[in-house]
Chain A
Amino acid sequence: MNIDLSTYKGLFTDYTELRCQENNSLVIGFLKGNNTTNTRLTTSGVSARVYKDGAWGFASSPETTADGVKFVITTATHNAAFLAAKERQDAPPLPHGEVTTHHDSPPTSQQLNPEQFVAFLQEIDHYIATNYPGLASRTVTLNRTELKKNLLTSDGASAFSLLSRSLIQIGLTVEQDGAPVSLHEVFGGRGQFETLFSTPEALYPKIDQLYEHLMRKREGIYAAAGLKTCILAPEMTGILAHEAIGHTCEADLVLGGSAVGTKRGQPVASPLVSLVDFAHTAFGETCPVPIFVDDEGTTARDTVLIDQGILKGFLHNKESACHFQVPPTGNARAYRFSDEPLIRMRNTAILPGKDRLEEMIASLDDGYYLMRPSNGQADATSEFMFGVTLGYEVKDGKLGRAIKDTTISGLAFQVLQTVSAVSQEFKWLSGGMCGKKQLIPVGLGGPALKCQVMIGGR
């Protein structure tokens, strides 16, 4: 990462992005008290992407040396020229980006050593084993990641960015009638482990709460399949914002025929719904995945996708912005040094409203309060699906029995039309990874929503 990229600017012959990147991660895992994993992973390298007459060439090498840099620039330039010559695309030049610089500060806190990390997790594992001996199984996993990027573009943009994330995942399993019932939760988010997790004891109340939910889920019932009015907890809303709406507003999907393609300026949701893809700061605080300059060298700015129910815009890289004749939004992101930037979300959130979660639940005669998502998927049609690992039935305004694992689905823009209440309470999900050819860390946020969704039960 110490290489001076500007030394190689003379090798640029066309529009070129040159990126040097290092990804570090530490994974330590305990399964039922067994230290199954203790691994550190470091991958680093350099890549170049070149644009010529509507064609792109890309190359990467793990060698962050002069030879490595020369190889990637030469090969990417050759690849772009090969394709441009074959395809002869009549494409305009990319918009000339602003000359921008950005430099994230390195972490200042003292880092734990390997023994301290293991001891920290062992203490959590011991707490669970001692306090909840009836569990069939338990997992405690640390995943600490760090992405360092150094970027230089032929437009003159340069940036050094650092993204750190530290997560502890706790999974608890109990047996009910001979069958396992599980519940897990992820703690932590953006930042250094040492600043996020002061002591193991700080997590114990949250683990106790997780166990209480598991005990209720153990006695859980199948949700009744069909269209139901539900309260989506903020954790669920965040994934709705990302999967069901955010993806359909990525300009590459819009060009591929997504459901929003012809709906700019039109109502697509209840007027109670506003949705923003935040670049780095929201509500006066740093977002879970702050992006100041994207991997094309564009200064990242907040992008309003829905304003009081009206569809306002899409997420762009330079090329799609050129197509739609709008400024790029700073959404071009790559995960590893060997990945090309794609249009990706950053911190996508439905904005909080004026209702109170407690009152929203009290207002529901017959439905479900859905609290924790697992995975989610969405479609260009805006049809979405999220797994639900924790939820409760609501009868006459009161929480009832827990439900077993289920799935909810719907057409996002139909579901958003049914939103009748939006809570003041807001929460970010800070451990999210989005998959679209490559993985990428994202932030997902939202308030609680009262709306109608399809629930997959028996």
Chain B
Amino acid sequence: MSLKELNSYALQALEEAGAEKAEAVITRSEKTEMNLENGALKLIRTTVDHHLRLTALQDQRQGSILLNKIHRQALEPAVKEVMAIAASSAPDPAHDIAAYQPPKIFSKGETTPDLDLMYQRVKAFTQQVAADFPRIVLLNAHLDFTRQTTFFQNSNGVDFTVNQGGYRFAITFSAQEGDSSSSFNNTGFFTLNLDQALLNCGSLRILLDQANQGQAPRKAPGKFIGDVIITPDCLEGFLHSLLGITISDGPLIAGTSPFQHKLNQLVASPCLTLASCPVSPEISSGYFITSDGYEAQNTPIIENGVLKTFLLSQYGANKTGLTRAVNDGGAFVVTPGDQPLAEILKGVKKGLLLNRFSGGAPSPNGDFSGVAKNSFYIEDGAIQYPLSETMIAGNLIALFQSIAAVSQERIDFGSALLPWIYAQGVTISG
């Protein structure tokens, strides 16, 4: 029995067991990963896994189960259990499954890894880093190829197959400073093939070059309200935090979102245009179907500062009476601005180039505070020195409202396409 047949069989078993609505999803993944530790290639991993997720609805009660035993004999007890879980749940009319859409097969990327090429790329990367950036210590890095096949079916007739494969590279590094080392930093990217040298992808060369400068870090001078240039590596986390407290299921269902009544209103600086583009050719990774079983589409989230959509799941939409989002978010594409980064930098009187933010989870009202890591002090339009022991605090919503410029340049991480943004009014204390 093929995986697809097994998935159909599981769906049928749920319906026969009494589920009014049912969903079955099988995902099979195979990963090959090369690991560097302290500059040396130390480990090759091959991991094979598969998961079956069964969801049943009965009398408005929903239960689900996820297991990685997907042979036919394991299905009967799994179906029985998911029905018992559903029966135990509290009823909620908002639970539902995706409506019918025509069956479709989606495919992207390669099917098998080129182990020798992976090895060559990793070796070339370590040699280039040693030659071009002698102070850099590669604490760990891994290059993996993951191939994933998903079969998504439900009792409304949804029948999707997704085949995706690609390479992901991630590194953690620091720089030697005398007897000690600098703060570590990390970055990475996703790519569909290994046509390019790893060092030329994502923001690797920029970050390694900055870390390699070797200038001793210092605290920012005292406490002041200043500007920040948020780098592409740092921006993605801020975007996730902002959207998490404002337009996702949790705060909208709870009724605590600061953007609850702000659809089609100005919520950020007019300089900001943000889209979620999981099926755009600009995004190498992305996804084809949402977690609740709809074909994903690209969507603007904020257009010239105006909120264009909430990121609600089907459940969240049913719960709030608002519209379901056409995707699950992520895959961020921020429209570039009209100034080069160098010009933006010249306009900063006193502030930071924020490369990494190590902070507590932001409050539901958007307040944040944390440490500016791997960052630089800027004064009179020029980078002065790398920072240590410097904290920043502000409010996420106010931060995105204060954006004064967005750079022309963007970094392609494969999973997101992001510029540098220039924001104001952050409390900086060294």
- By a beta-carbon cutoff of 8 Å, the part of chain A in contact with chain B is 30-32, 34-36, 38-45, 47, 54-62, 71, 75-76, 79-80, 82-83, 86-87, 89, 113-115, 117-118, 122, 136-137, 173, 175, 179-182, 225-226, 252-253, 255-259, 261-262, 338, 340, 374-375, 377, 379-381, 383, 385-389, 404-407, 409-411, 437, 454-458
Contacts and interface: CB of A to CB of B under 8 A. Distances in A.
Contacts of B359: 385, 387, 407, 456
A34 B370 contact: no
Contact of A35 (B49, B92, B179, B361): B92
Contact of A43 (B43, B68, B179): B68
B367 interface: yes
B259 to A, nearest CB: 12
B67 A41 contact: yes
A180 B256 contact: yes
A79 B45 contact: yes
Given A40-B65, A385-B360, A57 B44 contact: yes
B41 to A, nearest CB: 6
Interface stretch (B274-282, B388-396, B402-410): B388-396
A180 B182 CA distance: 38
A35 B87 CA distance: 12
B183 interface: yes
Given A34-B253, A87-B40, A387-B359, 15 more contacts: A31-B250, A34-B94, A35-B90, A39-B63, A42-B66, A43-B51, A44-B69, A47-B47, A54-B42, A80-B44, A89-B40, A257-B181, A385-B358, A385-B371, A389-B360
A42 B67 contact: yes
A454 B391 contact: yes
Contact of B46 (A39, A79, A381): A79
Contact of A173 (B69, B89, B256, B391): B256
A42 B68 contact: yes
- Considering residues A89, A225, A256, A455, which has the most beta carbons from chain B within 10 angstroms of its beta carbon? A256
A406 B391 CA distance: 11
Contacts of B393: 225, 406-407, 456-458
A208 to B, nearest CB: 21
Contacts of B182: 381
A59 B47 CA distance: 5
B11 to A, nearest CB: 18
B67 A43 contact: yes
B64 A38 contact: yes
A385 B37 CA distance: 25
Given A173-B364, A252-B38, A379 B391 contact: no
B174 A380 contact: yes
B255 A137 contact: yes
A44 B68 contact: yes
Contacts of B322: none
Contacts of A117: 88
Interface residues of B, number: 75
B429 A407 contact: no
A407 B369 contact: yes
A32 B369 contact: no
A456 B88 contact: no
15 contacts: A32-B255, A57-B45, A58-B47, A60-B45, A60-B49, A86-B119, A87-B41, A117-B88, A179-B258, A182-B363, A225-B223, A225-B429, A385-B359, A387-B360, A409-B358
A266 to B, nearest CB: 13
B45 A58 contact: yes
A338 B89 CA distance: 31
A379 B373 contact: yes
B319 interface: yes
A403 B430 CA distance: 21
B37 to A, nearest CB: 7
Contact of A62 (B69, B88, B92, B388): B69
B92 A34 contact: yes
A385 B388 CA distance: 12
Given A58-B46, A454-B429, A404 B367 contact: yes
Interface string B164-179: 0000000000101001
A338 B47 contact: yes
A40 B256 CA distance: 29
A225 B388 CA distance: 16
- Considering residues A87, A259, A338, A386, which has the most beta carbons from chain B within 10 angstroms of its beta carbon? A338
Given A62-B49, A385-B370, A410-B389, A379 B183 contact: yes
A114 B429 contact: no
A125 to B, nearest CB: 9
Given A60-B47, A137-B256, A252-B37, A35 B89 contact: yes
